[in-house]
Amino acid sequence: MAARINPSILTADFANLERELGRIATADLVHVDVMDNHFVPNLTFGPRMVESLQRVSPLPLDVHLMIDDPDRWAPGYAEVGAFSVTFHAEAAADPVTLARRLRSLGARAGIAVKPGTAIEPYLELLPEFDQVLVMTVEPGFGGQSFIESTMPKLALLREAVSGSGLDVWLQVDGGINERTIVTAAEAGADTFVAGSSVFNAGEPAEQIALLRAAASGHVH
């Protein structure tokens, strides 16, 4: 199975985002990190910016909400056309109701967990989600180092997804490069967010191909 590569525009040139999107057109989706300076200590995009990106992006948008009160705000991102909307388990009051709302608006529903959050409470809820994002760094900033101790969570998720026959994508985000993508794929990930390693490369398209090739032989 081919690995999905979703470059994060967190490390792109914000002054030239349309051009930057064109440089990653060979990827699978564009990962958009929405941060509110409350849930994480950083501030990035909001709904209007995502709507603008939606108009010019050659690829579907994979929106990752690192925000407080996603129960209130997440549906707005589905309404502007995001392909996938992922919110944090630690921030949502009612993850299942929110996931169902996102699906009803036509988006894939994703749930994310920080490195220190246990995955076991969410395993029985997997049918409610289209994607589970295991953060492999503390959310908030790009360029951090991969936390390998998050891999057992991925292995549990892969076992649960494979055993149930569900079509749930298992995504990792943080510190993904040619080496760590293999580690994550072997643990069970099939969808990979890469920011610095793509946008800091001379040729992003070549780096995307390199990452995809490195992971694809190990994806379950």
Catalytic residue among 33, 36, 62, 190: 33
Q: What does pTM read for this prediction?
A: 0.96
Q: Is 62 tagged catalytic?
A: no
Residue in the block written with tokens 């503390």: 138
Lowest mean pLDDT among 139-143, 145-149, 186-190: 139-143
Give the integer Cα–Cα distance in Å for 199 and 204. Answer: 6
Give the integer Cα–Cα distance in Å for 161 and 179. Answer: 25
Residue ranges making up the domain that contains 51: 4-216
Asked if residue 110 lies in contact with residue 87, where contact means CB atoms within 8 angstroms, the answer is yes
The tens digit of pLDDT for each residue in 14-71 reads 899 999 999 999 999 999 999 999 999 898 889 999 999 999 999 999 999 999 999 9
Predicted confidence band at 141 (pLDDT cuts at 50, 70, 90)? confident
Catalytic residue among 28, 36, 62, 173: 173
Q: Computed from CA positions of residues 27, 60, 54, 8, in that sequence, does the dihedral angle turn out positive or negative?
A: negative
Longest dimension (CA), the chain: 45
Query: Residue 45 sits in a domain of what CATH number?
Result: 3.20.20.70
Q: Is 33 tagged catalytic?
A: yes
- Tokens representing 123 are 């395993």
If one counts the domains in the chain, the total is 1
The tens digit of pLDDT for each residue in 118-133 reads 999 999 999 999 999 9
Residues in the chain: 220
